[in-house]
Chain A
Amino acid sequence: MKPETDELGFEAPAPLAHPGRTGLPAGHPTGPEVGERLPDFELPDSAGRRVRFHEDRGNSRAAVVFYRSAVW
């Protein structure tokens, strides 16, 4: 299948209409704003340890990255 290029110039091994290729619509909210404290959360890590965000990072600066999947 010849790769289909989106309007930003990106190709992917799936047709353009595939839901996996959907991008952030213009003007769509992107969660907590600059100046807001990140809402706390508690999630298990890969070892099953429960990680509570603000407690875990302590007094450190932090980078929280949301990605789609490690599987596909």
Chain B
Amino acid sequence: MELRDAQEKFRAAGVALYAISYDDRKVLAEVAETLGIEYPLLSDLDSSVIREYGILNTQVNPSDGILYGIPYPGAYVTDENGVVVEKFFRDSYKRRESAENLIEAALGRLMPEEDGDPKATGGEPDVRITASLRGGGGTLKQGAQRKLVVRFQLGEGLHLYGEPVPEGMQPTRISVAAPPGVVVGEPSFPPTECLRLETLDLELPVWSGTVEAVIPLYATSELASECHPLERTQATLEVTVRYQACDDSACLLPKSEKLVLDVPVLPVDVQSISLHQGHGQRELAIQGEPHMRRLFLRKAREHPVGVLRFVWSEVRMELASRLGLRR
């Protein structure tokens, strides 16, 4: 759904988007029409391309019925020659890249922030600091990868420090305090330049001009589960920035700046099959059951014994939950 919401951005950036699954044309056609998807939804019916790429989920086998043939989900981003420049495969199928992540990987640079992105500004006249949350319209959603971008705009002649610097100098450090259920990664900065201070015989790693640091983060079920309605619709991210700005002759005092972002929290988009319904998520406006039946029959024709085993284990799972294992 996030890809759909951003399909215009892909077009504007000149990045051709393709989505591949083992689904048949019929459900893909309905999805494309109902959701207004204009990029190709490709049908890898027998998972041959998934297999050729080496990303077939081999922990799932024919006795897992309709599941057999799924890939480990992920994405490849290529340059104009079709050569991979970046790829995204995560430890959980729940972790998804934002559309912006993919476009930025293709372009090799960050996109500008958008009007709706949660944003906070601070700093001082010659050191303007802006923190913004990018991706998915600047929202938090279970598993969706987001980027917190902290931008420094330095006045003429000023620089900030990377690491390592001698004792007494403040390197630039960013930390994020987030509610439970938000997993915050390490900040990544662009490469520093080397500033040579002849008089002190020192070489210092510095940044000047405009500098953007990126902190990846995503939400787990503790913040936003797909199994029950949201407990909160908003989360606060507190970004603490420690820095010291200097020019060639003097330094401003080291500073600690706190920027606070209020971020909307959203439910996930789920298919309209009974498994997902009634959990307070965003259900797609498509009747899922007929497509499930067709998928089931297709897999049953391919692997009859496997599918029987799958049905039996699904029935057992349903019975177990109905008999209400008291938890």
Contact = CB atoms under 8 A, between A and B. Distances in A.
Interface of A: 1-3, 5-6, 8-15, 18-26, 28-39, 41, 43-48, 51, 53-54, 56-72
Interface centre among A1, A24, A25, A54 (most CB of B within 10 A): A24
Given A30-B89, A60-B16, A70-B28, A35 B83 contact: yes
Interface residues of B, number: 91
B54 A29 contact: yes
A30 B92 contact: no
Contacts of A68: 21, 70-71, 73, 93
Interface of B: 3, 10, 13-23, 25, 27-29, 31-32, 40-44, 49-50, 52-55, 57, 59-60, 64, 66-67, 70-87, 89-95, 102-103, 105-107, 142-143, 181, 183, 220-222, 225-228, 271, 273, 275-276, 279, 288, 291-292, 295, 317, 320-321, 325, 327
A38 B76 contact: yes
Given A61-B78, A70-B23, A70-B41, 4 more contacts: A53-B82, A65-B3, A68-B73, A71-B292
A47 to B, nearest CB: 7
A8 B295 contact: no
A38 B82 CA distance: 6
A21 B183 CA distance: 20
B185 to A, nearest CB: 13
B42 A44 contact: yes
B84 A46 contact: no
Nearest to B284: A70
A24 B59 CA distance: 9
Contacts of A10: 92, 94, 142-143, 220-221
Given A63-B103, A65-B17, A36 B67 contact: no
A34 B87 contact: yes
B78 A38 contact: yes
Contact of B43 (A20, A44, A53): A44
Contacts of B86: 34
- The 3 A-B pairs of least Cβ separation, nearest first, read A9-B220, A46-B28, A1-B321
Given A30-B89, A43-B42, A71-B292, A36 B10 contact: no
Contact of B82 (A9, A54, A72): A54
A65 to B, nearest CB: 4
